[in-house]
Amino acid sequence: MPLRQIFGWLTALAIGMVFAFAVISGRAVWFLVVPGIALLIWALRSPYRCLLLVLFSFPLERFGTIPTPWFIIKPLQLLAALTLLALLFDRALHRDRGRRPFPRDPVLAFYLVFLVANMVSFAVSGNLDDMRAIFHYLMFALIALLTVWLVRTPEQLSGAVRVLALSGALAAFFGMLQYAGFLSGIDTGIQETRMYYVSGASEALRVTSLYFDPNLFASFLCLVVPLGLACSQAATNRFERGLHAAGVLAMLVSLAFTQSRSGFFGVAAGCVVFLFAQRRLAALGRAVLVVAMLFLLGWTALNLYGSEWYSSEIFLDRVLAVEQGITDRSTAWKEILEAFYDKPVFGVGPAQATNWGVYIPNARSNWDIFNARIVAHNIFVDVAVGSGLLGLVPFVIFVFLLVWRSWRSLRAAAPGFAGWDAGILAALISVLVNSQSITTLLYPFLWCLAGLVVARAQMLQVPEPARPAPVAAPTLAEVRP
């Protein structure tokens, strides 16, 4: 019996068992497994499709997780392992294909040095909590390398960008439904915390969507809003352009619901970069009109449908409270940098400055608060405290090369593809600006952009195949007997 037929029978059997279990248990949620199986079947036909599932699963922070003693296995990690498995099977079944050399890129080289530096820091610290950061870094490196390996054409790159924009739009719509459910009296996980505004401090509601934290949700929006603008600009018809514009509008409204200042400044920086990255005056004019229209529509939606917590004036009052945010962040940076001064070479451990906080006191310095949790709130401070100069130096070079290679790709792109390169550069700047106030090293936002930037740079370096020279017509002397 052919392998394809066996696989079909097994798939039908699995779907039948799911239906039977749903009927017997009385839980309709099991019916959702059927489209999940169909989606996996569609993805397993190609490693590239599996990679698209990985990118789409970035917002799925609460669904399908598996707890372990050190960290929680997330859907994107399971799908990344599935992508690697599909790639290995594809290489094993098609050995006759020519081998493609893995690209030697300086961005990947310094990324590798950064990973090695964190492993050395982990070995020096001896803290088992650091395994959480190590496993996350390795998983994100796998996702970045799979992106570089599987995204080989401009069409595949645009497909990956579209999938990220789609996941952002769905997460944004979920956030809006979360807020609507809260107004209806349903416990939807919205956080009610004490926030600081220009007019003073008060209790505020913050939407988290599929994330546990509103700032992390805003950080994800920093990644996908510029990519959504690129999709809207590259759309070939009005219907597709309208769909992408509606997705970006939902992201902007959800960003207001998070009340995240770092997310606002990150998205604003990404939009500005996207506008100035336009290479033609006509494209710049259209982009300015689209961005202005989306912000105006979002502002109007907040005024018409927002409550007292989410009106446009209160959100602006929150955004303009910059001085208080800078004061809080600078105080945290001064305190946590005492740990860097104590261990400047190897750091205190990769995970100690990200989400766990720094717990280890040192009586030789001012950093002697026993059992105090101090979070870095900055990726560069995070790396400096976690892995010391050993990790900070390659990380700074890695970030510089990312921005430089993305800018070079934009300058060298063909006019028809410049919009996608502008979106990737804008997303990179947006994520970096947001990361100056919140650390997202244990999330895939920056690392997936690294894979896209390197993949795009490799496309521009591949020389076009040489065309055969035209054969000259024979002369009369050559055709005579």
Per-residue pLDDT, 402: 94
Residue 360 phi, psi dihedral angles, 5° rounding: -85, 115
Per-residue pLDDT, 306: 61
Per-residue pLDDT, 414: 77
Confidence of residue 370 (pLDDT cuts 50, 70, 90): very low
| AA identity, residue 97 | R
Q: Which H or E run contains 202?
A: strand 200-206
Per-residue pLDDT, 466: 46
Tens-digit pLDDT profile for residues 190-201: 877 877 777 777
Q: Is the pLDDT of residue 7 over 60?
A: no
Least confident of 206-215, 221-230, 388-397: 206-215
Q: Is the pLDDT of residue 99 over 90?
A: no
Per-residue pLDDT, 292: 80
In contact, 298 and 253? CB cutoff 8 Å: yes
Mean pLDDT of the chain: 77
Beta strands 191-197; 72-73: pairing state:
unpaired
Percent of the chain with pLDDT over 90: 19
Confidence of residue 1 (pLDDT cuts 50, 70, 90): very low
Tens-digit pLDDT profile for residues 163-174: 999 999 999 998
Tens-digit pLDDT profile for residues 262-271: 889 999 999 8
Tens-digit pLDDT profile for residues 126-154: 777 777 788 888 888 988 998 998 898 88
Per-residue pLDDT, 352: 64
| Tokens 């803290």 found at | 127
Least confident of 166-175, 264-273, 349-358, 444-453: 349-358
The tokens describing 120, both together, are: 């050395």
Per-residue pLDDT, 359: 47
Q: Using alpha carbons only, give the angle 277, 280, 283 rounded to the nearest 5 degrees.
A: 80
Least confident of 75-79, 319-323, 426-430, 470-474: 470-474
CA distance 343 to 121: 10
Per-residue pLDDT, 365: 43
Per-residue pLDDT, 362: 44
In contact, 111 and 49? CB cutoff 8 Å: no
Q: Which residue in 62, 7, 72 sits closest to 40, CA to CA?
A: 7
Per-residue pLDDT, 360: 45
Per-residue pLDDT, 440: 84
Q: Is the pLDDT of residue 364 over 50?
A: no
Confidence of residue 82 (pLDDT cuts 50, 70, 90): confident
SS (H, E, C) 372-430: CCCCCCCHHHHHHHHHHHHHHHHHHHHHHHHHHHHHHHHHHCCCCCHHHHHHHHHHHHH
Confidence of residue 465 (pLDDT cuts 50, 70, 90): very low
Q: Which residue in 41, 42, 80 sits closest to 451, CA to CA?
A: 80
CA distance 293 to 237: 18
Question: What pTM does this model have?
Answer: 0.83
**Average pLDDT for 394-406:** 94
Strand partners, 33: none
Q: Is the pLDDT of residue 108 over 60?
A: yes
Q: Is the pLDDT of residue 41 over 70?
A: no
The tokens describing 104, both together, are: 């030697």
Listed ranges 315-329, 353-367, 441-455; the one with the highest mean pLDDT? 441-455
Per-residue pLDDT, 400: 95
**Average pLDDT for 205-219:** 86
Per-residue pLDDT, 395: 94
Per-residue pLDDT, 464: 45
The tokens describing 458, both together, are: 């490799």
Listed ranges 314-323, 367-376, 421-430; the one with the highest mean pLDDT? 421-430
Percent of the chain with pLDDT over 70: 73
Q: Is the pLDDT of residue 384 over 50?
A: yes
Q: Where are the beta strands (DSSP E) in 44-159?
A: 66-67, 72-73
| Tokens 């940098």 found at | 337
